[in-house]
């Protein structure tokens, strides 16, 4: 097909240029599958589950060269990206049909299985993460859709969740299409795209530490085409520590469960994870440096959990005295939570399910949630990345928040509970949300 012919084809089909469409009868999936329905973006976030080819747009079976000639007119940026990729420069180039198929009426959006067809080792490494449970890339999508707040909220409000959690179902979260460049994925920015913000301030922690400071000064001059191996980089980046040698298993060194729960550092699992972590550290540091680091991390974690448990005890005392207002019986339960309808109870702390309490809680419960999930995580991330000033700031923040909760508890006990006006129990949003997600 000549370029002129390509232009003619584009002119004829341009009004109907649609890649594909989400099945209008598509169902949710996961633990609360019957409580939510996907919106059109799910086709791109979870292509193997939701992509549906649309026939009747452009029909025919095409080989790679024909695809390139046509798309050089239709989507020239994609062709340019592909031509700069290793796929294009291989002895046997990986052309469009290898990933999308040759039948234009049955084109596919590639997910992890299609990529794994040529990269089985990397896919297997990612799948191995599942043995460690949450958090992990491999279980990120499941983590999102199995959360009550995801199923209960209108889908427009949880788009940001899947923007990152879709790392479980497609590879272009780290290797942007159609270049799929490993050098791009090795840079901290590839990870910071998702690993930022209050629940996981890894960007702040890394860039505030000595490693990140040196990266900011020198990183633009590094050769990012070099593998993640000893001696190839002046200081480690996210990928160097968490994906050394290109290993796509990123959950095998996560001591202290990323900071969200208390972990016995002496357990067999955590001893193994520490040794794996220290193997990376000795690429640049003497072995004793890693040992000192972990002693300091354990001291910080023990002190932080002492404070968190103190606050948990205070809130459980309010619950025992029926001073939490509004109580669980006064709140509209999650629509899918039958247990809460039968046995309404305020959930306090990680082991009672505080992780799912993103809303629908009293004010002081939310205070505790932000202390545990935001401040505590910031403190852990700073410590784990060697960001001393960040650790100091978050320690002060934790102490201030613990003090404020103590004061609030004292006032609530003195007044016999606080009579809040539960405006969120009625209103336009609440009424809409009962019937729509």
- The per-residue pLDDT for 8 is 43
Report the alpha-carbon distance of residue 259 to residue 257 in Å, rounded: 5
What is the share, in percent, of the chain residues with pLDDT greater than 90? 54
Q: What is the pTM of this model?
A: 0.86
pLDDT of 19 higher than 60: no
| pLDDT, tens digit, 9 for 90 and up, residues 399-418 | 999 999 999 999 999 887 55
Cα pseudo-dihedral 7, 11, 13, 17, rounded to 10: 80
Task: List CB contacts of 281: < 8 A, sequence separation 6 or more.
Answer: 287, 289, 290, 293
pLDDT of 327 higher than 60: yes
pLDDT of 429 higher than 80: no
pLDDT of 124 higher than 90: yes
Is residue 436 very low, low, confident or very high in pLDDT (cuts 50, 70, 90)? Answer: low
Report the alpha-carbon distance of residue 119 to residue 247 in Å, rounded: 12
Own/partner pairs for 202-206, CB < 8 Å, 24+ apart?
202/238, 202/381, 202/385, 204/378, 204/381, 204/382, 204/387, 204/390, 205/378, 205/381, 205/382, 205/384, 205/385, 205/387, 205/390, 206/237, 206/238, 206/385, 206/387
Nearest to 422 by CA among 360, 351, 368: 360
Task: List CB contacts of 394: < 8 A, sequence separation 6 or more.
Answer: 375, 378, 379, 382
| Contact criterion met (CB below 8 Å) for 151 and 140 | no
Is residue 16 very low, low, confident or very high in pLDDT (cuts 50, 70, 90)? Answer: very low
Ordered DSSP codes for 279-320: HHHTTTS-HHHHHHHHHHHHHHHHHHHHHHHHHHHHHHHHHH
| pLDDT, tens digit, 9 for 90 and up, residues 261-309 | 888 888 888 888 888 998 999 999 998 988 899 899 999 999 999 999 9
- The per-residue pLDDT for 52 is 86
């Amino acid at each position: 097909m000549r370029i002129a012919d390509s232009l003619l084809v584009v002119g004829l089909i341009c009004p109907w240029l649609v890649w594909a469409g989400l099945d209008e009868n598509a169902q949710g999936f996961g633990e609360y599958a019957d409580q939510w329905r996907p919106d059109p973006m799910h086709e791109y976030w979870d292509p193997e589950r939701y992509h549906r080819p649309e026939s009747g747009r452009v029909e025919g079976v095409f080989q790679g060269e024909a695809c390139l000639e046509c798309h050089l007119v239709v989507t020239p940026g994609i062709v340019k990206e592909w031509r700069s990729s290793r796929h294009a420069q291989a002895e046997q180039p990986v052309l469009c049909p290898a990933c999308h198929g040759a039948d234009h009426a049955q084109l596919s959006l590639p997910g992890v299985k299609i990529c794994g067809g040529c990269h089985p080792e990397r896919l297997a490494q990612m799948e191995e993460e599942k043995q460690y449970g949450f958090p992990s890339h491999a279980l990120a999508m499941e983590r999102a859709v199995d959360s009550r707040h995801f199923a209960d909220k209108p889908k427009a409000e949880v788009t940001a969740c899947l923007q990152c959690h879709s790392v479980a179902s497609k590879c272009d979260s780290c290797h942007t299409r159609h270049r799929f460049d490993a050098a791009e994925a090795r840079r901290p920015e590839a990870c910071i795209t998702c690993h930022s913000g209050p629940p996981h301030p890894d960007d702040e922690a890394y860039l505030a530490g000595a490693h990140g400071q040196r990266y900011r000064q020198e990183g633009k001059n590094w050769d990012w085409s070099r593998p993640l191996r000893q001696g190839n980089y002046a200081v480690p980046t996210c990928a160097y520590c968490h994906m050394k040698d290109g290993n796509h298993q990123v959950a095998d060194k996560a001591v202290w469960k990323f900071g969200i729960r208390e972990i016995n550092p002496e357990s067999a699992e955590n001893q193994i994870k520490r040794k794996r972590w220290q193997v990376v550290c000795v690429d640049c540091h003497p072995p004793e440096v890693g040992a000192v680091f972990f002693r300091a991390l354990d001291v910080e974690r023990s002190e932080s959990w002492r404070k968190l448990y103190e606050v948990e005890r205070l809130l459980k005392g309010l619950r025992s005295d029926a001073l939490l207002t509004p109580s669980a019986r006064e709140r509209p339960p999650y629509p899918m939570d039958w247990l809460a309808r039968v046995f309404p109870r305020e959930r306090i702390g990680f082991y009672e399910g505080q992780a799912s309490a993103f809303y629908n809680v009293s004010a002081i419960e939310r205070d505790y949630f932000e202390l545990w999930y935001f401040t505590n995580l910031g403190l852990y991330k700073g410590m784990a990345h060697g960001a001393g000033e960040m650790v100091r700031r978050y320690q002060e923040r934790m102490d201030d928040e613990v003090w404020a909760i103590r004061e609030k508890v004292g006032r609530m006990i003195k007044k016999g509970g606080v009579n809040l006006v539960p405006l969120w129990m009625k209103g336009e949003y609440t009424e809409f949300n009962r019937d729509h997600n």
